[in-house]
Amino acid sequence: MATLGSKLMTTVQPWHANMTEQNHLGLNLWAKPHIMEGYMDQLFSAQNYYSDNPLSSILLNYGLKEEEIGTTEWEWTLEGADTRPLVVVENVEPSSNITPGRIKTTFKLKLDENWFVPGDVIGCDPDNLCRVQDQVQRHGDGWVYILRQMTDDPNKFVPSKYLTPGAQWSKYFSQYEEAAEQSGSTQYSGNITLKNGMSKYRKQYKVTDYAATEILRVAIPGPDGKLYRAWIPYAEVKFHKQWYRELELGKWYSNKATTVLGANGRPVRASASIREQLQDSHIHHYSVLSAKMIEEYLMDIFYGRVKPGQGRSIKAFTGEYGMLQFHRAIENKIGANGFIKNFADHTLTKVKSDLNANALGFGYQFVEYYMANGCKLTLVHNPLYDDRTLHHEIDPVTGYPIESQRFTFLDFAGEDGKANIKITKKKDGFSFHYVNGSIGPTGPLKGGFAAHSGDYYEMHYRKDEGVHIKDVTRCGELILSRG
């Protein structure tokens, strides 16, 4: 019989051998919920990066505890950029604007906002700066500016491509004449309000009189370093492992819905998972993975937002075949650079063998990538991406699920070292109860009251929780596409 994990001391023993009712893990959870719930997490949810629940594992190992709030929904704000380019929506002078600004003339430019004022110097690039000369005028779905190129060269003009829809114009500064009364514009960032909520998860299990006879004795390392011994029927172990797996699946795959009704006519509580929230992040489809592509992709996430060498650390969750592809991509980069000298000396390991007294093993695997400008990428195996019972689309090239080659990039630290990703749960949102028949979680009933006449007892669990990603633009996904 499989045990729970290498960090836990477990033995199988007969019913009631060296046990008391108070040592039953479930009853301990009821008596000391704040202590034992953490123990349950250690038992069934988080062991290491390669556990069945990698997200929960990382959050616990890095001390990023769950945040408890009093409601099932929460809001937060993100501050937008202080400045942004304005976008050309129409060329209002297509016939006369072939050489706009030539011979020191003014020309018209139609942008999507009226943020710039007379005196603001704007441009698509530093070599073609223009000054706003008059008050902006409303024109249909945009605003028309009167511009004069900042140059004394009569032959110079602004390239006409900068007046076509989609071109972007940015403010550089504001410049004025002697005794000027006008002043330049100031742009303020607008706060974006975001909202997410929790999913309500429930699960039940029936434990028969025969299934309850196999007992697992557990010694759990507590926060003080001591071992706390308890026991639990193996049938309940199976239940809890499935329960925590379902919670992990919900964190990755739940979709926000408010119109799906349950049996009593009330809306089912389903919140946005990591997958759904990352739809607004950096999404890129690839056919061949390479180290250069990874570097350029991460540059899109960090460029202009995180200073080089400061806080550019991110984790990439992927399946087993994705890990292999990552290893090959870094290996190919090393080979292409000719960086092989003395490399073999560090990958040879002496092993025991009946074939040779001086047997050697050779091998290595790349699981981290240190890039230019202080960027560090750590690979994390996500077994959910490998599960063939969940993912049925097979890559015709490799024969493995397409999902196994997905890379989900999560920035846990976020800005200023504050948590960018955390699990949010409702205060008093976790509960469980037993429904006893002729047998209960501590053995056969000897008189007293039962809820039903069957030779089994039921367990019911319920939890309200959700995933909070403060800034999804610090995250993203690389998705395999063979099309």
The answer to whether residue 433 scores a pLDDT higher than 90 is no
Nearest-angstrom CA–CA distance, 423 and 46: 14
Structural domains in the chain (count): 2
What pLDDT, on the 0 to 100 scale, is given for residue 426? 83
Q: Are residues 183 and 62 in the same domain?
A: no
Q: Which of 229, 207, 215 is nearest to 22 (CA)?
A: 229
Nearest-angstrom CA–CA distance, 146 and 134: 6
Q: Are residues 91 and 121 in the same domain?
A: yes
Is there a contact between 46 and 62 (Cβ–Cβ < 8 Å)? no
The strand pairing partners of 215, in sequence order, are 13, 233
Amino acid at 352: K
Nearest-angstrom CA–CA distance, 13 and 254: 39
Residues 6 or more apart whose Cβ sits within 8 Å of residue 239: 203, 205, 207, 459
More confident residue, 35 or 347: 347
Min mean pLDDT across 145-154, 160-169, 205-214, 442-451 is at 205-214
Compute φ and ψ for 172, nearest 5 degrees: -100, -50
Residue 20 falls inside a structural domain: no
Which parts of 211-273 fold into alpha helices (H)? 234-253
Token pair in block for residue 148: 């004069």
The strand pairing partners of 409, in sequence order, are 316, 476
Residue ranges making up the domain that contains 58? 47-80+196-213+234-483
Nearest-angstrom CA–CA distance, 359 and 368: 29
What pLDDT, on the 0 to 100 scale, is given for residue 414? 66
Token pair in block for residue 61: 């190992």
Residue 70 falls inside a structural domain: yes
Q: Are residues 476 and 384 in the same domain?
A: yes
What pLDDT, on the 0 to 100 scale, is given for residue 5? 47
Q: Are residues 72 and 153 in the same domain?
A: no
Q: Are residues 136 and 202 in the same domain?
A: no
Q: Which of 230, 200, 202, 203 is nearest to 215 (CA)?
A: 230
Residue 366 falls inside a structural domain: yes
The answer to whether residue 368 scores a pLDDT higher than 80 is yes
> How many Cα atoms sit within 13 Å of 244 on the Cβ side?
24
The strand pairing partners of 246, in sequence order, are none
Nearest-angstrom CA–CA distance, 346 and 363: 9
Residue 222 falls inside a structural domain: no
Residue 144 falls inside a structural domain: yes
The full 3-state SS of 390-431, as one line of letters, equals CCCCECCCCCCEHHHHCEEEECCCCHHHCCCEEEEEEEEEEE
The strand pairing partners of 24, in sequence order, are 231
Residue 30 falls inside a structural domain: no
More confident residue, 194 or 249: 249
For residue 52, what pLDDT band results from cuts at 50, 70 and 90? low
Nearest-angstrom CA–CA distance, 219 and 197: 36
Min mean pLDDT across 81-95, 117-131, 448-462 is at 81-95
Q: Are residues 144 and 65 in the same domain?
A: no
Residues of the chain with pLDDT > 70: what percent?
74
Residue 269 falls inside a structural domain: yes
Min mean pLDDT across 2-6, 15-19, 233-237, 264-268 is at 2-6
Residue 103 falls inside a structural domain: yes
Beta-sheet pairing, 313-318 with 376-381: parallel
Q: Which of 397, 431, 443, 476 is nearest to 202 (CA)?
A: 431
Q: Are residues 419 and 401 in the same domain?
A: yes
pLDDT in tens, 96-123: 778 898 999 999 999 988 889 999 999 9
Is there a contact between 27 and 245 (Cβ–Cβ < 8 Å)? no
pTM over 0.75: no
Q: Are residues 358 and 419 in the same domain?
A: yes
Q: How far apart are the first and last CA of the chain?
A: 45
Q: Are residues 73 and 160 in the same domain?
A: no
Rg (CA), the chain: 31
Q: Are residues 447 and 466 in the same domain?
A: yes
Q: In what order do the strands lie in the sheet with 456-469?
A: 67-69, 421-435, 456-469, 199-208
Amino acid at 273: S
Q: Which of 311, 320, 278, 314 is nearest to 295 (CA)?
A: 314
Q: Are residues 75 and 109 in the same domain?
A: no
Is there a contact between 17 and 221 (Cβ–Cβ < 8 Å)? no
Residues 6 or more apart whose Cβ sits within 8 Å of residue 461: 201, 202, 203, 204, 243, 431, 432
Question: Given its phi and psi angles, is residue 255 left (phi above 0), alpha (psi -120 to 50 degrees) or beta?
Answer: beta
What pLDDT, on the 0 to 100 scale, is given for residue 376? 86
Q: Are residues 137 and 201 in the same domain?
A: no
What pLDDT, on the 0 to 100 scale, is given for residue 366? 84
Nearest-angstrom CA–CA distance, 410 and 317: 8
pLDDT (average), residues 376-381: 88
Tell me the three state secondary structure of residue 385. Answer: helix
What secondary structure letter does DSSP report for 63? T
* Most confident region among 16-20, 380-384, 403-407, 443-447 by mean pLDDT: 403-407
